Structure 1
Amino acid sequence: MSDQLKALTDAGVSIWLDDLSRERIETDNLAGLVAEKSVVGVTSNPTIFAAAIADGERYDAQVAQLVEKGEPVERIIFDLTTEDVRNACDILRPTYEADHANGRVSIEVEPDLANDTQATIASARALWAAVDRPNALVKIPATEEGLAAITAATAEGISVNVTLMFSTQRYRDVMDAYLTGLEHAHEAGHDLSRIHSYGSFFVSRVDTEVDKRLEAIGSETALALRGKAAVANALVAYGAFEEVFGSERWRALEAVGANRQRPLWASTGVKNPDYDDTMYVRDLVVAETVNTMPEKTLHAFADHGEVLGDVVTGRAGAGAAILERLGEVGVDFDDVLVVLETEGVDKFKKSWSDLTDSVSAQMRKAETSA
């Protein structure tokens, strides 16, 4: 373990890998990252699975078996991905047994269901049952329709990783959905201590969109704000988290065993090569949070990352000041957030299409060689 990763872990940040493949599982790569790189969790998504299935031959035998049984592409995707998540959960089970907030592996509901509450709930139930591991997480997007699904899944005892959050207001809605789900779960007699949830707040995409607008404005004042919006937005969101989980409503749930919905910084790989490649890790260090990072970012932080202590708690005002300055130079930040959520859902659906294409290609290959 590098000194930098140890320092990050000691600061209370859970390092999760934003990648999963059967190759990582079967070659012990994932186990090695857990043992040597402080990785204590994994997130996956359809884009990750599409790349894994397209690039390797480790899925061929299972695809061939399912094709022989006449299974449709949707069922094959379900079986391939739930098997990988189940096996990753088993690798991370010792981590989970030591600390139930970690050792987690996420799997997403079907993206085409992002605007369909009931179908999202049904997908969450099916994934939770199929993976059948206490350290699994079902990822549900934070669309308006997703909020009710978050409440319903939580109420049934399903641990949820809420994804695609960009705005503080939506984050507040998500926290409310989680607390409502806990209240319903308690009424139904569930053990709240067994339910965990994570709020995935997206980071780097905010700078990508804002920087484009700042560069279009082109003034010296505007250009000086490049690379500052994403962390500022995250600081404001964390302020909302502090408020909600310091409330009387939360304390009542905590008294009967509930777990806080842990903040998770997502999309922390740096898109702009001019920026420090560890900035979205370094600038978001605060205890009891998760940073889910691509392997490239993990290795960069291991090599030259800095831990400057808690740089988040109590800094919502500083973040809000930067967002206010964006407005003063002509950036409509509310519009930025609308664009990001819309694009996020579109990318979410596109990734499912890519996954479907990857699996369909594997199916044709299996049929040809049969």
Structure 2
Amino acid sequence: MTNPLSDLSAAGVAVWLDDISRDRLNSGNLAELARTHSVVGVTTNPTIFQKAITSSKAYEEQLHDLAIRGVDVGEAIRLITTADVRVACDVLRPAYDASGGTDGRVSIEVDPRLAHDTDKTLAEARSLWWMVDRPNLFIKIPATLEGLPAITATLAAGISVNVTLIFGLERYEAVMDAYMTGIEQALANGRDVSRLESVASFFVSRVDSEVDKRLEKIDTPAAQTLRAKAAIANARLAYERYEKAFGTERWAALAARGAKPQRPLWASTSTKDPSLPDTLYVHELIAPGTVNTMPEATLLAFGDHGEVPGETIRPNYADAHGVMTALANVGVDLDDVVEVLEQEGVTKFEDSWNQLLDAVRGQLGAH
């Protein structure tokens, strides 16, 4: 018996949940979503953990023990978050085994305050990989300029990576290059790369939020017709560049040695504008070899009334190019949009991390 989510999986889109909490794990909800809603992966971020830890009593015993031991607040957060991720990895291990290591992945992010420090990002990635100690883990590293060499070095060390906070096409090309360089270095180090995986998290809805804000200020008929079109066009052109990059002789040589392509992952897929369909960023981004990570509300909405008409990316390349040209013609500077979004993205995760530090510090002090 099929449903929209199983149809999406059959079309080549891996369904991942953009959420984690100890309550979800303890209740068996994640296992249930894997069984009934085709979920084969989980992504987390500092905001998700901040919400989970500050809104549940499930962490109280561990917090009590950490307080008694006098554990530093930063280390306490690592111990709490890696514990959740380790359990989630175990829940999704069947999907990992069944897919030969491609799916069943759970992501944990390096401290976002390190986004502009290459060496500390690499050190943190190694530490998190060691602490979780599961082969189906992804270490999330932001695609900042300083993050790119850390991505390469992490992969070269045999650690699978989820590259996050990608907004622009040029940066995405640099991410794919960093991935291939990491694979090349891993091979040079004598590593088996057949289970070394990566996804590139290309953010979607935030692009529309920023571009539409600018279109409102321009306020011409031409500008109004472009509302809610930039994000989908941008993501479709990212997939076009993905096809080009992984169709090169360079990649063919790596694939011949067992390397797996770095899949595009559509992130930030909940619609921020309530006037838009709640499944928009799933329905319009269907292509083989991709991942769509959804908040629970979006996941359930697509499972309830989503549609899979077939591929919706490759047949629309020409339209996507047309949208980008039209945006430039009305005065939207996409390069500036991308720069603003990256800075905002890092700042938002830093703010969430600092809120989490404050909350855990307070809870440790209360025990």
Partner of 2:132: 131
Amino acid corresponding to residue 271 of structure 1 in structure 2:
K
Equivalents in 1 of 2:258, 2:32: separation in Å? 34
Equivalents in 1 of 2:291, 2:26: separation in Å? 25
Partner of 1:39: 39
TM-aligned CA deviation for residue 364 of structure 1: 2.4
User: Contact conserved, 1:237 with 1:316, CA < 8 A, in 2?
Assistant: no
TM-aligned CA deviation for residue 86 of structure 1: 0.3
User: Contact conserved, 2:16 with 2:293, CA < 8 A, in 1?
Assistant: yes
5+ residue gaps, structure 1, are none
Equivalents in 1 of 2:30, 2:356: separation in Å? 22
Deviations 1:87-146 (A, max 9, x none): 000000011100111100000000000000000000000000100000000000000000
The secondary structure found in structure 2 opposite 1:144 is coil
Pairs aligned (count): 366
User: Contact conserved, 2:279 with 2:301, CA < 8 A, in 1?
Assistant: yes
Deviations 1:189-214 (A, max 9, x none): 10010100000000000000000111
1:225 aligns with 2:226: yes
User: Contact conserved, 2:121 with 2:150, CA < 8 A, in 1?
Assistant: yes
The secondary structure found in structure 2 opposite 1:291 is strand
User: Contact conserved, 1:47 with 1:354, CA < 8 A, in 2?
Assistant: no
Partner of 1:21: 21
TM-aligned CA deviation for residue 316 of structure 1: 3.3
5+ residue gaps, structure 2, are none
Equivalents in 1 of 2:112, 2:298: separation in Å? 26
1:338 aligns with 2:316: no
Amino acid corresponding to residue 261 of structure 1 in structure 2:
Q
User: Contact conserved, 1:238 with 1:316, CA < 8 A, in 2?
Assistant: no
Q: CA RMSD in A?
A: 1.0
Equivalents in 2 of 1:251, 1:183: separation in Å? 12
Equivalents in 2 of 1:238, 1:325: separation in Å? 20
Equivalents in 2 of 1:314, 1:333: separation in Å? 23
User: Contact conserved, 1:15 with 1:291, CA < 8 A, in 2?
Assistant: yes
Equivalents in 2 of 1:330, 1:156: separation in Å? 44
Equivalents in 2 of 1:314, 1:34: separation in Å? 30
Equivalents in 1 of 2:248, 2:352: separation in Å? 38
Equivalents in 1 of 2:239, 2:298: separation in Å? 22
Q: Which moved more, 1:189-198 or 1:314-323?
A: 314-323
Partner of 2:61: 61
1:71 aligns with 2:79: no
Percent of pairs identical after alignment?
55
User: Contact conserved, 2:18 with 2:293, CA < 8 A, in 1?
Assistant: yes
Amino acid corresponding to residue 161 of structure 2 in structure 1:
V
The secondary structure found in structure 2 opposite 1:164 is strand
User: Contact conserved, 2:106 with 2:137, CA < 8 A, in 1?
Assistant: yes
Partner of 1:196: 197
The secondary structure found in structure 1 opposite 2:146 is helix
TM-aligned CA deviation for residue 2 of structure 1: 6.1
TM-aligned CA deviation for residue 60 of structure 1: 0.7
Equivalents in 2 of 1:132, 1:25: separation in Å? 18
> Residues 117-266 of structure 1: matches in 2 within 5 Å?
117-266=118-267
Partner of 1:91: 91
Partner of 1:269: 270
The secondary structure found in structure 2 opposite 1:16 is strand
Structure 1 consecutive aligned stretches of length 4 or more whose deviation exceeds 6 Å: none
Partner of 1:286: 287
Equivalents in 2 of 1:2, 1:22: separation in Å? 30
TM-aligned CA deviation for residue 330 of structure 1: 1.5
Partner of 1:48: 48
The secondary structure found in structure 2 opposite 1:194 is coil
The secondary structure found in structure 2 opposite 1:316 is helix
Equivalents in 1 of 2:261, 2:122: separation in Å? 22
TM-aligned CA deviation for residue 341 of structure 1: 0.9
The secondary structure found in structure 2 opposite 1:137 is strand
User: Contact conserved, 1:162 with 1:200, CA < 8 A, in 2?
Assistant: yes
Amino acid corresponding to residue 58 of structure 1 in structure 2:
A
Partner of 1:30: 30
> Residues 80-119 of structure 1: matches in 2 within 5 Å?
80-99=80-99, 100-119=101-120
Deviations 1:158-191 (A, max 9, x none): 0000000000100000000010000000011100
Deviations 1:239-273 (A, max 9, x none): 11011000000000000000000110000000000
TM-aligned CA deviation for residue 236 of structure 1: 1.0
TM-aligned CA deviation for residue 358 of structure 1: 2.2
Equivalents in 2 of 1:162, 1:128: separation in Å? 15
User: Contact conserved, 1:239 with 1:314, CA < 8 A, in 2?
Assistant: no
User: Contact conserved, 2:67 with 2:365, CA < 8 A, in 1?
Assistant: no
TM-score normalised by length of structure 2: 0.98
User: Contact conserved, 2:156 with 2:182, CA < 8 A, in 1?
Assistant: yes
TM-aligned CA deviation for residue 32 of structure 1: 0.7
Amino acid corresponding to residue 308 of structure 1 in structure 2:
P
Equivalents in 1 of 2:332, 2:247: separation in Å? 32
